[in-house]
Amino acid sequence: MVDQAWWYFIFEKAHEVGGTWRDNIYPGCSSDVPMAFFTLSTELRNWKESHGSQQDIYEYWVSLVKKYSLYDHIILNRKVTLAKWDDVAQEYDILTEDTVTGEQSRSTADILISAIGVLETPRLPTIPGLDGFKGEMFHSARWNPDVDLRGKRVGVVGNAASATQFVPCITEDPTVQVVQFCRTPNWLLPPIRKDYSLLRRRLFDLIPVLKRLLRWTVYFRFEMMYFGTFANGFIRNQLTKMATRYIKANAPEKYHDRLIPTFPLGCKRVIFDTNYLEALHRSNLKINYDGIATISDTGILTQKEEHIPLDVLILATGFAADVFPLSIYGKSKSIQQYFDEKKGPQAYLGTVFPGFPNFFTILGPNAGTGHTSVLFTNEVQINYILQVIQPILDNQISSVEVDVGATDAYNEELQSRLEKSVFAHCVSWYRFGGKGKITNAFPAAASVFWLWLRKPNWRHYNVVSPDRWLEKRLLRQRRQRFFWTLALGDVMVALRPPWRNSVLGWCIAFR
């Protein structure tokens, strides 16, 4: 899609591609979205199980990089330390650092796209004494495979998605004594993972269209899940009762009062059980809701003044989802400074920011839906970005920047919807600082996100061009809108009932 005169390059700070599926290697790491919908729409696979393991998903992405010869465009072990917009040259000056040698280098780019996502920087808890712990300590997103847990006393801080995957795995060995420190419970739903039979896989190989049909089935199921869990209070209450029964039926009775959340289902990320509740029956696993007062050099002191000695401390405390980890400067400020001014991350359509020409982000603020595949929203954003940058690639304009008013109006509408949503009823990483405005959830179905990003609304953009390109484009949009309205009006008139012979009827038909 890119003209041969244009060259693109990708900076990757790690030694290999793969992103989150390269970094998250903790035991039991897998997708909680069916693989039929957790792959690119153009690269379907016949998976051996409904939900892929970390290794299988990682190999999938590496294979695509090889298939499309993307290594020719990727600079590995290269971290972006600074990028600044030059308004005179109409380009970004980029400073990078070799993560192996520390050598710095400069480059320029007409277009800059951030594809680091949201869950990129592990969040460390602010617990007194954390730095003084003398044993082995690491974040679950940076799992240390060299630490042997056999015969060790292990403390796990956190009980969300990652913890519920690796805790059952590490406690399979009875010599590993685990104490899991929890703050608030999470809703757990019955397991959904299953292996596919050889017969089924052969059938999908013989009839490739079955993979596409399965993908659409999962998509519609997730859309129904949104209307049931996030948009309909009655259905959500029924699902809440089902989840409560499931937890009580599978968890030890002594933990029932601790494991049932008080916030509504869907407010936080919904977790599908991966044998976590069954693992709670093991004698070498205990959960502790007493709260952490401090961390000493040998263990954890709870708020009930009980000291629990530990050899290893694993932090399953999520990610810093409300901080932008790159130093990207637009016309007058950085992305993080813009976030701070707005009291939390915000963007236009989760993709562009006012004051940052030719800069785009994938999975930006409020681009995640909480109920569907992030790859779907990623593809929607990529298709949108390609349409916006096409005039730059065609040398028709030199820069494009979203309007301040359009961005603020869009976010006012978003927050107005989100304040009335299920996301507003608990503390979560969906919210700025845990309790502020909701910055990591989209307040509607995935189909709405696709509809809003289907075509750029050029009235919401400012461009730099030598020949009044934007005026011409807006004129063409108005003409297209007029002809579509005229065509729709003809259809409405042809199908109108007798009462539409009135002037009022004509107005309604053309509206």
Distance (Å, whole) CA 451 – CA 444? 11
Q: Which pLDDT value is given to residue 477?
A: 72
- Is residue 60 scored above 50 in pLDDT? yes
Tell me the pLDDT tens digit for each residue of 351-395.
Answer: 999 999 999 999 999 998 778 999 999 999 999 999 999 999 999
Amino acid at 511: R
For the ranges 382-396, 466-480, 487-501, the maximum mean pLDDT occurs at 382-396
Query: Which of the two residues, 485 and 186, has the higher pLDDT score?
Result: 186
User: Within 10 A of 2 (CB to CB), how many other CB atoms are there?
Assistant: 11
- Is residue 484 scored above 80 in pLDDT? no
User: Within 10 A of 81 (CB to CB), how many other CB atoms are there?
Assistant: 13
Sole residue written with tokens 């997103």:
141
Amino acid at 395: N
> Quick one: angle between helices 209-225 and 198-206, nearest 10?
110
* Burial of 486 (C-beta count, 10 Å sphere; 0-12/13-18/19+): exposed
- Mean pLDDT of the region 243-265: 96
Query: Poorest-confidence range of 109-118, 178-187, 365-374?
Result: 365-374
Q: Which pLDDT value is given to residue 510?
A: 26
CA nearest 277: which of 316, 244, 308, 310? 244
Distance (Å, whole) CA 486 – CA 492? 10
- Mean pLDDT of the region 324-343: 96
> Quick one: angle between helices 503-510 and 469-495, nearest 10?
130
Tell me the pLDDT tens digit for each residue of 186-223.
Answer: 999 999 999 999 999 999 999 999 999 999 999 999 99
- Is residue 23 scored above 70 in pLDDT? yes
Query: Which of the two residues, 60 and 476, has the higher pLDDT score?
Result: 60
Single pTM value for the model: 0.90
Q: Compute the Cα dihedral for 193, 373, 427, 121 and give only its sign.
A: positive
Q: Which pLDDT value is given to residue 5?
A: 57
